[in-house]
Amino acid sequence: MCGFIAVLQSRPCIDIVAARRSLNAIAHRGPDAAGEWSDGYVFLGHRRLSIIDLATGDQPMQSTDGRYVIVFNGEIYNFIELRERLANEGACFRTRSDTEVILEGYRRWGAKVVERLHGMFAFVIWDTLRSSLFGARDRLGIKPLCWAMHNGALIVSSTIEPLTKLNGFESIDLIALRDLMTFDYILAPRTILDGVHKLEPGNRFEWSFGSTGPAIEPYWTAPDVNTGAHIPDEYELEALLKEREKTKELNSLLESLPKSGSVSFTRQQKPLGLGHAVWCARHFIGNEPFAVLLPDDLLVGKPGALKQMVQAYNEVGGGAVIAAEEKPLEEVHRYGVVAPGVTRGNIIEVKGMVEKPKTEKAPSRLCIVGRYILPPEIFGELDKKEKGAGGEIQLTDSMQRLIGRMPFHAVRTNCARYDCGDKVGFLQANIAVGLARPDIAPALKKVLGEVKL
C-alpha cells in the first residue's frame, strides 16, 4: 500500500506548497518513506510502504537517462522475468525494485508495457522531454487511480483524499451521491467529488500540456465466458502432478480432499445475527438434523469437538447438542450461557440458556462455543424472526424454545479453544497449530525465538 499525487501544469494554477500538503493526506498509506520531485510547475509526490527492495526502491524514481519520472502504487508479480528480459536487451538497473522495471519497460515498449505487466498497479510516468504524461491502472482495478482537470492543470492521485486538500474540489457530484445511496457504490468513472474521475480498470491514458483532458483507452477487456471450454477433471489434474513429479503436493492434496459429496453456499444479505445466518441456509437443510461450525471458534483436540458431540447425540437419543466450556464470571456477558441440569461425565443437561447476560444474572459459567448440532425444528422458531440481544435474531433464543420439547444437552469437550475473532487469539491459534505440526514446528520455533520483544 503506497500513495502518490502528480500535479502537471505549465503555469502556476495549483500552488506546489498546497500539492505538498495534499500528499500528507495519504501519509497513512506510506509510513516508511516520503519523496517528491519537481521541475518548474510539475510536481510528483509519493508516500511509500516498503515491500520490495527496501533499500533503494524509493520514489519518485527517475530513469537512468533522467528523461522519465515515475510514481507507482502496487506490486508487479512478474517483474523478475521482465527485468531479466530487459537486461538481455541492454537495460541497466540500479535497484532491485519492480518500480524500475516499469520505468525501463516504458522506455523500450512505450504504452504497451502495461500489456506485459501481471499484478496490481496504478502509476504515472512523466516524460520531461515531451512534457507528456502516461498512466495506467491494473486490469481488475485493484489499485485505484483518480484524475481531475483544474484551470488547464492535470492532477492525478492514487486515491481521492489528496484532492480534498486542494482548492476547487469542494463540490459533491449529486449523481454520484444518488448512485451511492442506490447501489452502496459509486459507478466509474464518477467519484463523490464533482469533476474528479476514476480511471476505469484495464485502461491507460496519455496527456500533454494544452490538452483538455487525458486521452483514455482500454488495453484489456474481460474475455467472454466460453461455456464450451474444457475443464480438466480430477484424473487429468492428478496425471499432471504425477507427470511433473509433484509427488509431495499430490499426496497432500489427495489426503485433504473430502469424501465424495456436494457443497452449497448461501450468503447472509445483512448482519442480523447468528440465528438469521442459520435461517438463510434452511432450503439446503430440509428436514434433517445438521451441524453449525463457527469459523471464529477453533477447537483443536482428539477426537475432534464435532465427533465428541456426535457421540453424545447418539448416546442421549438425538435432539440438540451444543459445545460449551467454563468461562471466568467476568467474561460470561460475551456468550450464550447455559442453565445446567443433570451432569453425566462430559454431558450436561440444558435446562435453559440466556444470550449475553449481565454478570449478576448469569445462570452459570458454562458458556456456549461455536459448535452446534441442531434439529430441523429450529427453523420453525427462526421463522418468527424475533429479535433479542443487540437487536439481532439470536440463535440462543430459538434454541431456548426447544428445551422441553426434545432432548437438549451441552458437551464439555476436551479440545483447546482459540478465539479467532480476536486478533491476538487468531495469532495464538496459528502458532499453536503450527507448533503441533512436526513438519513446520522446528522452523516456527526458530522464527519465534528470533522475535525481539
Encoded amino acid at 332, one letter: V
> Around Cβ 122, how many Cβ atoms within 10 Å?
26
357 and 429 housed in the same domain: no
65 and 194 housed in the same domain: yes
Give the torsion sign (CA, 307, 313, 318, 319): negative
Angle (nearest 5°) at CA 346 between 340 and 350: 25
pLDDT by 10s per residue, the chain, length 453: 688 999 999 888 888 888 888 888 888 877 778 899 989 899 999 988 766 656 667 889 999 889 999 999 999 999 999 999 999 998 889 998 999 999 999 999 999 999 999 999 999 999 999 999 999 999 999 999 999 999 899 999 999 999 888 888 889 999 999 989 988 889 889 999 999 999 999 999 999 998 999 999 999 988 876 666 665 566 677 777 777 667 777 777 677 665 666 677 788 878 888 999 999 888 888 888 999 999 889 999 999 999 999 999 999 999 999 999 999 999 889 888 999 999 999 999 999 988 888 988 999 999 999 999 999 999 999 988 888 877 888 898 899 899 989 999 999 999 999 988 889 989 999 999 999 999 999 998 998 888 877
Show the domain range for 159.
3-218
41 and 162 housed in the same domain: yes
247 within a domain of the structure (yes/no): no
CA dihedral (79, 80, 83, 87) in degrees, to 10, reads: -170
Q: Residue 273: which region, alpha, beta or left (left: phi > 0; alpha: psi -120 to 50)?
A: left
* Nearest partner of 305 among 436, 378, 410, judged by Cα: 410
276 and 210 housed in the same domain: no
366 and 427 housed in the same domain: no
The count of structural domains within the chain is 3
Query: d(Cα 450, Cα 13) in Å, to the nearest integer?
Result: 53
322 within a domain of the structure (yes/no): yes
400 and 427 housed in the same domain: no
Q: What is the CATH number of the domain that holds 309?
A: 3.90.550.10
Q: Residue 210: which region, alpha, beta or left (left: phi > 0; alpha: psi -120 to 50)?
A: left
400 and 429 housed in the same domain: no
Of 186, 201, 218, the position where a domain reaches its end is: 218
DSSP code, position 376: T
Mapping DSSP to helix (H, G, I), strand (E, B) and coil, where does residue 199 land?
Answer: coil
> Around Cβ 51, how many Cβ atoms within 10 Å?
14
Of 156, 187, 218, the position where a domain reaches its end is: 218
145 and 209 housed in the same domain: yes
283 and 160 housed in the same domain: no
Query: d(Cα 249, Cα 226) in Å, to the nearest integer?
Result: 30
317 within a domain of the structure (yes/no): yes
Is the overall model pTM greater than 0.75, yes or no? no
* Nearest partner of 429 among 335, 293, 256, 297, judged by Cα: 297
